[in-house]
Amino acid sequence: AYVLELTLKLLAYGLSFATKPWIWFDIVVVFVGALVYIVRAAGVLDLQPGVAAALRLFRVIRLVKLFVVAPKFKALLHTFWQILPSIVSFCGFLVCIVYTFAVIAVFLFQCRYTDDNSDYT
């Protein structure tokens, strides 16, 4: 999808639209990703899966752009970091409850299991 958008922008505006460093970074990341895909598909160069994954990792860096472009996203992420300890505590509480009921179920239904593994009584 981004390749199509990039192609249309190049046809419409030429290189004049690529004035910001983030746009050039996006272009390089997409170009490298496409190049890795073509090289692996053609079998010209045997890239190890780790090398290809490391090159694709640069796509994640594009998310950093959200912090610069969208201040509301930064506020949302800051709020998430503030409530993360509460979320972790709540998940731990849920795990304790599930574990407790699992132990109770094992003790309640242990006599219903037969040793020959053929059926339940």
Amino acid symbol at 116: D
| pLDDT-based confidence at residue 119 (cuts at 50, 70, 90) | low
The DSSP bridge partners found for residue 120 are 113
Q: What is the pLDDT of residues 53-66, one digit of tens each?
A: 776 677 677 777 77
Q: What are the C-alpha distances in Å from 68 to residues 39, 64, 79? A: 33, 7, 17
Task: Assign 121 to helix, strand or coil.
Answer: coil
| pLDDT-based confidence at residue 115 (cuts at 50, 70, 90) | low
Apex 33 CA angle, 30 and 39, nearest 5: 135
The DSSP bridge partners found for residue 113 are 120
Q: Can you read off the two tokens belonging to residue 88?
A: 């972790």
pLDDT at residue 13 tops 90: no
**Contact of 36 with 47, CB cutoff 8 Å:** yes
